[in-house]
Copies of this chain bind each other. A is one copy, B any other.
Amino acid sequence: MNYTPERLNPLKACRLGLDTHQELTIYLRQDCPVCRSEGFSALSRVLVHTEQRHLIATLHMVTSDLLMPGEIGFSESTWKRMELRDNTSVWLSHPKPVQSLSYIRAKVYGNELSSDQLSEIIDDIVAGRFADVHLAAFITACGGDKLNIREITDLTQAMVNSGSQIEWGLPTVVDKHCVGGLPGNRTTPILVSILAAAGLTMPKTSSRAITSPAGTADTMETLTNVSLSLEQMRAVVEQEGGCLAWGGSVRLSPSDDLLIQVERALDIDSEGQLIASVLSKKIAAGATHVVIDIPVGPTAKVRSNEAAEVLANNFKAVAKTLGITISVLFTDGSQPVGRGIGPALEARDILEVLQNKPNMPLDLRQRSAEVAGSVLEMVNELPKGEGYKEALKILDSGAAWEKFQAICQAQGSLKAPPIAPYRYELIAQAGGIIHCIDNRKLAKVAKLAGAPADLAAGVDLHCKISDHVEPNQPLLTIHAESSGELSYAVEYLEEHLDIIELTTDRKAKT
């Protein structure tokens, strides 16, 4: 007879409606007998059982009457993962030590991690056996340049294996990734249209914004349906050669989503984990040829050409071993690309470029053609520069615009992006030359105005660095869906007028 927790009195499950995100959390009354007998206290790791399922969770204590005696509370993610209903019987016990945590300790002492050890770590992360502090330790132990190429390769493979993988049964499936985003810079929908029009297969999945005013999935949502099942996605791609779907509904490289959340909190760069994160998503999505776009600039993620070269070489080495072809492109990372910042405003820019409108944002057209050209050169083995020309030709001919419409129709429909009812225009007080635009503060204005949750909200930028502006010329327009949000954004803007800095004519003359 084993000492199983089933023999103790069970607790009754209670949904508290608390969202602790990925950290699986349970709540117990401080006077709960099991806390006393098992020695559980706040932040203990506890093995939680029902008759069907079990997992390891972090304990928070309740000192009030949120819970009745005999109840156990669950956070939303824990409730869903354990597939609970109210009053389900729950038993608690001490979890066995998680073996793979000892590999992290070994890494701290400078040991190389084997392929099997990396697989075990990733599997434990996906199974929820790591608390956030353990993820933080893993990220830190592997941070900087502490993973060699062999370890990065094995980590990437382990991340691919831990989730769904899509097989296309085609010799060439293309994809792209941009390392460290710029405001605007919404090239992806244009790229997919150009490349699918050129006969390539590009089953693109994108994320929603997490800290930025818009992600590609938010922007595309203003134009069509992006929540596709794997089957729907496959049907669209088989018909049109490309799709523009939200990646959230397909479980590709699930450990990556968990690691990214903690990486963001720590802001510790790990070149190894960056490469594994990007390539594991692409390999799991079935890509064979990938362009990596690295914007380089003084305030971009990658700040010098030397750093970009090192990163590019490591990307290539790992990709080669894993059997996918990549091409790395260095682009200008010094200012926003396009005019709109926010889902609908970025969608408008995209439509203007695809429709060859006379007033379209030329920088967005050029950047899109540049990245698309790089894919065409890689796949069709064209001389450098020829891909760019071909991409422009596809845009000019209207073929990209036709393909974009067809993809949107296949995903459901093509609709017009919404327009915000509330606006505020920032006017130049004096004439002069724009010499500086603060990307970070610009993104903050767009978020205060309601982006990305309010799809029509954001900022429309009317100038670029080096532009000459006249007195009273509009510099930017804030768009909002409510007057309250408009005033938050305006208030912030008025106190941060250095968002756009001019060398005034008077100053320029002196």
Q: Which residues of A contact B (CB under 8 A)?
A: 1-3, 7-8, 15-21, 23, 27, 30, 33, 36-39, 41-43, 45, 60-66, 76, 101, 104-105, 108-110, 131-137, 139-141, 143-146, 210-211, 261-262, 265-269, 447-448, 450, 453, 484-485, 488, 491-492, 495-496
Contact = CB atoms under 8 A, between A and B. Distances in A.
Given A37-B488, A39-B211, A144-B110, A137 B268 contact: yes
Given A30-B19, A43-B21, A136-B136, A131 B268 contact: no
B139 A491 contact: no
The 4 closest A-B pairs by CB, nearest first: A17-B64, A19-B61, A136-B136, A21-B42
B132 A132 contact: yes
A20 B37 contact: no
Given A3-B491, A3-B495, A144-B108, A265 B15 contact: no
A36 B211 CA distance: 12
Given A1-B495, A484-B33, A18 B134 contact: no
Contacts of A33: 484
A19 to B, nearest CB: 4
B262 A133 contact: yes
22 contacts: A1-B495, A3-B491, A3-B495, A18-B27, A20-B42, A33-B484, A38-B448, A43-B265, A104-B140, A104-B268, A108-B143, A110-B144, A131-B265, A132-B132, A132-B133, A133-B135, A134-B266, A136-B136, A136-B137, A137-B139, A140-B140, A140-B141
Q: Which of A1, A105, A268 has the largest number of chain B CB atoms within 10 A?
A: A268
A61 B75 CA distance: 10
Contact of A265 (B2, B20, B76, B134): B134
A64 B16 contact: yes
A497 to B, nearest CB: 12
Contact of A16 (B66, B141, B447, B448): B66
Contacts of A268: 104-105, 108, 137
Contacts of A448: 37-38
B447 A39 contact: yes
Contacts of A269: 105
A17 B2 CA distance: 36
Nearest to A65: B17
A19 B63 contact: yes
Contacts of A110: 144
Contacts of A45: 265
Contact of A43 (B64, B66, B261): B261
A135 to B, nearest CB: 8
A252 B350 CA distance: 60
A109 B144 contact: yes
B43 A20 contact: yes
Nearest to A135: B133
A491 B41 CA distance: 22
Contacts of A105: 143, 267-269
A83 to B, nearest CB: 18
A63 B18 contact: yes
Most buried by B among A8, A20, A105, A108: A108
A379 B453 CA distance: 69
